[in-house]
Amino acid sequence: MTEKQLREKLVSTAKGWLGLRESNGSYKKIVDLYNSVKPLPRGYRVKYRDNWCAVFVSAAGMAAGMSDIILRECGCGAMIGLYEAAGHWQENDAYRPKPGDIVFYDWQDSGKGDNVGYPEHVGIVCRVTGSMITVIEGNKNDAVEYRKIPVNGRYIRGYGLPDYESKAEKEQEAAGEEPVRVYTVQAGDTLSKIARKYNTTVAALVKRNHIKNADRIDVGQVLELG
């Protein structure tokens, strides 16, 4: 799978649990999945009465077959520690995330400067449209629900960045495929400029990346080159 497909798979897996909730006990399948693989992080077996937002993120990674990059934990602070240790932590609140990134919150954020408080909640980024981020979360109103927040909005603590790129390369190598080349759009780039640089065509880039408007690409956008 490509990096884009891996990201989409995690988001799709999480969306499959929309509506699971505490009131009818349907959320328990998420907790049970988290507890099913030993050893448990820090040796702790999650109870049904525990907060389960980090459990939701971890279990989505397990269900999608990505426990190697969706780092498994039941606590938000400990989960941040895992991403920091792996070198995949983004401290900047103003970072523009991608689908499949993991966003952490601190409800005590004053809104001034970069938030470095203790995280109390976490979710999976589904999409970014304009300046708005759509996140799917477990344990939101005691259920799996969506939340919309602005890029660089108050309460954002930071982001865990699963290593989708390395996982995609390993899968392609195992299948005997050539890794898909990608390019991150920089300021001043156009599709024609990128096409010339990488010996391809604008039409090929548009088709491969499902681009609706060939005259508009965003800084930070990841393009597959083929």
**SS3 annotation, the chain:** CCHHHHHHHHHHHHHCCCCCECCCCCCHHHHHHHHCCCCCHHHCCCCCCCCCHHHHHHHHHHHCCCCCCCCCCCCHHHHHHHHHHHCCEECCCCCCCCCCCEEEECCCCCCCCCCCCCCCEEEEEEEEECCEEEEEEEEECCEEEEEEEECCCCCEEEEECCCHHHHHHHHHHHCCCCCCCEEECCCCCCHHHHHHHCCCCHHHHHHHCCCCCCCCCCCCCEEECC
pLDDT computed for residue 172 by the predictor:
72
Percentage of residues in the chain having pLDDT higher than 90? 74
Q: How confident is the model at residue 175 (pLDDT cuts 50, 70, 90)?
A: low
Same domain, 98 and 143: yes
Q: Of 165, 192, 216, which residue sits at a domain end? A: 165
Q: What pLDDT shows up at residue 185?
A: 87
The answer, yes or no, to whether residue 222 has pLDDT greater than 90, is: no
Evaluate if residue 69 carries a pLDDT over 80.
yes
pLDDT value at residue 190: 93
What is the average per-residue pLDDT within 146-172?
A: 92
Q: Which of the two residues, 123 and 176, has the higher pLDDT score?
A: 123
pLDDT tens by residue, 84-98: 999 999 998 889 999
Backbone φ and ψ of 188, nearest 5°: 90, -5
Decide which of 102 and 218 is more confident: 102
Lowest mean pLDDT among 101-105, 144-148, 163-167: 163-167
pLDDT exceeds cutoff 90 at 181? no
Give the integer Cα–Cα distance in Å for 176 and 148: 40
pLDDT band at 5 (very low <50, low <70, confident <90, very high): very high
Residues 153 and 185 in one domain: no
Are both 100 and 41 inside the same structural domain?
yes
pLDDT of residue 178: 63
Within this chain, do residues 160 and 185 fall inside the same structural domain, yes or no? no
Distance CA(218)–CA(68), nearest Å, equals 30
Query: What per-residue confidence (pLDDT) applies to 158?
Result: 95
How high is the pLDDT of residue 221? Answer: 86
Print the domain residue range for 198.
Answer: 181-224
CA nearest 113: which of 151, 154, 147? 154
Same domain, residue pair 49 and 90: yes
In a domain, 172, yes or no: no
Q: Decide if 139 contacts 76 (C-beta within 8 A).
A: no
Asked whether residue 189 falls in the same domain as residue 137, the answer is no
**Mean of per-residue pLDDT scores for the chain:** 92
Total of domains in the chain: 2
Q: What percent of the chain has pLDDT over 70?
A: 97
Residue 14 within a domain: yes
